[in-house]
Amino acid sequence: MEEPLDRIAAYHARTKHSSRRYARGPGFLDWETQPDPFRAFAGARCVGLPLRLDAETPPFGRLEGHDPAPLDAQGLGLFLELALGLSAWKEVGEARWALRNNPSSGNLHPTEGWVILPPLDGIGAGPGLYHYAPFHHGLEERCRLDRLPADLPDGAFLFALSSIPWRESWKYGERAFRYCQHDCGHALAAAAYAAACLGWHIRVLTAPGDEQLAALLGLDRPDSCARFEPEHPDLIAVVSPAPLPEPALPPVTGEWVGEANTLSPDHVVWEVIGQALALTEKPSTAPVLPPPSIAIPPLAASLEPAAAIIRRRRSAQAMDGVTGMGRDAFLRLLGATLPDQDKVPWRSWPWPARVGLMLFVHRVEGLSPGLYALVRDGQALDRLRADCNPRFAWERAAAEVPLYNLAEGDLTWDATQVSCAQDIAGRGAFSLGMLADFDRTLAEDGEWAYRRLFWEAGLIGQVLYLEATAAGLSGTGIGCYHDDEVHDLLGLPPGGGPWQSLYHFTVGGAVEDGRIATRPAYGHLSPAGSPS
């Protein structure tokens, strides 16, 4: 019998990897029980959405300030496809798998998307809760609502995300709870970019608690999942033509329809994940005030249509070890991760920045190879500097962004070793670890904010993916890293002290595997968007 966790910090420590011991996971991959990546609700009415692969979208580098598109089936279809839809199918031999516009750890996709809509022509005659089905590019009507759960202006609706931990724990065991959370952050950022393509604003609501959100999405109902496959609420946001104050969400009633499919014929129950979910349950709170903002400087940006970049994004499987990155593109990429409340995706993020970037620079024009820090929260600089290796230089490396040179030298081996000895971390133009202001965040906001730190890391990861793609390069998220060996490299207190590494990433020139064929994302659908 496992010892129960009494603090979420114990879960975090328990699920750390090291070169001597990896977090508990399955001894092998049982392909007979691999979870279905597509949730479906038998008996629910399914509405096919228009597939607008040729729709015009703003330039990627100029997403703000556009006139909003109307809220209709056309706009909703483009929004959900760019946020959570398929980007391609891959084939090798008899194996075939789908890629999506929102990336996922191991391409396992624990994240599910929901919309709560007013009456819309071609969608529904009354208000309703719908589950987005990316395979069919359609909406499954889960509940015919008696009324909307918020007083919203014309053109506004609610968008929510939830997670199915079993999809990740099938492969990753106890550490899977972490991956569900940063996948949620990736999906939120993907939705923010998708909304901006239509001139819409999206903003996460800070007040609702998990219990309230579970009831709203029907995740507390027995027909919402099969046994051992519970779905957990993550967050809910308002999507609107213009920024809105946070609306209240009173309870609603309606007629529920449909029953969730079973994802696997058998399961391994990882009790520690259930304990972590209980420890990080979000309570209902008062709305939070807007966070401090760091303005992004005017840096040259891609004028390619945003939708083209979103659909072209891929997770690199290997880097060539040769391709570098220009200084301007590098600074543009770093600037885009700064929490500027006037920019996408950070205008969707209502909490203060609590994650910084520790960068292993290998081949960036104008920068010496070495270790650098991008400080995204100015209040953290003095404390981080005091806690790190006292020999670090902390010399400002760029006027445009808060980037500091800590130590010069070839760190390709170090970057590789702390990323579970994966060559991809040392063969890119640069790689990084995301370092969270861990103790401070949990002390200020409670243990539920553990999830929020990973969401923030996921948002940063999606920015890195898209900025790398816009620069003609590739990126990939790295969920396997040796937590405390990262901390040791930085000279932090044992175990990281108040700081914790949450997520790694690398950017560079990808090596393509010519054995794998690429097929169109929606070749299985008719042009109208319904199953063919």
Q: What is the mean pLDDT of residues 9-27?
A: 96
pLDDT of residue 528: 47
CATH of 306-508, one of 3.30.565.10, 3.40.109.10, 3.60.110.10, 3.20.20.370: 3.40.109.10
Q: Please determine whether the domains at 8-279 and 306-508 fall in the same fold group of CATH.
A: yes
Q: Tens digit of pLDDT for each residue in 252-263?
A: 899 999 999 999
pLDDT at 532 over 50: no
- Longest pairwise C-alpha distance within the chain: 66
| Distance (Å) of CA 246 to CA 3, 64, 129, 205, 488 | 40, 21, 20, 6, 42
**Domain segments of the chain as ranges:** 8-279, 306-508
Q: What is the mean pLDDT of residues 106-119?
A: 97
Q: What is the mean pLDDT of the chain?
A: 95
pLDDT of residue 5: 87
pLDDT at 222 over 90: yes
pLDDT at 212 over 80: yes
**Predicted confidence band at 396 (pLDDT cuts at 50, 70, 90)?**
very high
Q: Tens digit of pLDDT for each residue in 163-197?
A: 999 999 999 999 999 999 999 999 999 999 999 99
Distance in angstroms (rounded) separating the CA atoms of residues 450 and 452: 5
In the DSSP assignment, the letter for residue 230 is -
pLDDT of residue 526: 63
Q: Tell me which residue of 468, 481, 436 sits closest to 455, measured CA to CA.
A: 436
Distance in angstroms (rounded) separating the CA atoms of residues 136 and 86: 10
Beta bridge partners of 358: 373, 433
Classified as helix, coil or strand, 435 is strand
What's the distance, CA 299 to chain centroid?
A: 25
Q: Tens digit of pLDDT for each residue in 262-277?
A: 999 999 999 999 999 9
pLDDT of residue 3: 64
8-279 has which CATH code?
A: 3.40.109.10
Q: Is the dihedral of CA 149, 150, 153, 156 positive or negative?
A: negative
> Residue 435: which residues within 8 A CB-CB, separation 6 or more?
355, 356, 357, 358, 384, 486, 490, 499, 500, 501, 502
pLDDT at 527 over 60: no
- Per the structure block, which two tokens stand in for 87? 């980007």
**Predicted confidence band at 301 (pLDDT cuts at 50, 70, 90)?**
confident
**Predicted confidence band at 481 (pLDDT cuts at 50, 70, 90)?**
very high
Distance in angstroms (rounded) separating the CA atoms of residues 278 and 189: 25
The Cβ of residue 474 has, within 10 Å, a number of other Cβ atoms equal to 26
pLDDT at 530 over 70: no
pLDDT at 34 over 50: yes
pLDDT of residue 290: 84
**Predicted confidence band at 529 (pLDDT cuts at 50, 70, 90)?**
very low
Scored b (16 or more CB within 10 A) or e, 368-388 reads ebbbbbbbbbeebeeebbebb
Q: Tens digit of pLDDT for each residue in 66-112?
A: 999 999 999 999 999 999 999 999 999 989 999 999 999 999 999 99
**Predicted confidence band at 1 (pLDDT cuts at 50, 70, 90)?**
very low
Residue 449 identity (one-letter amino acid):
A
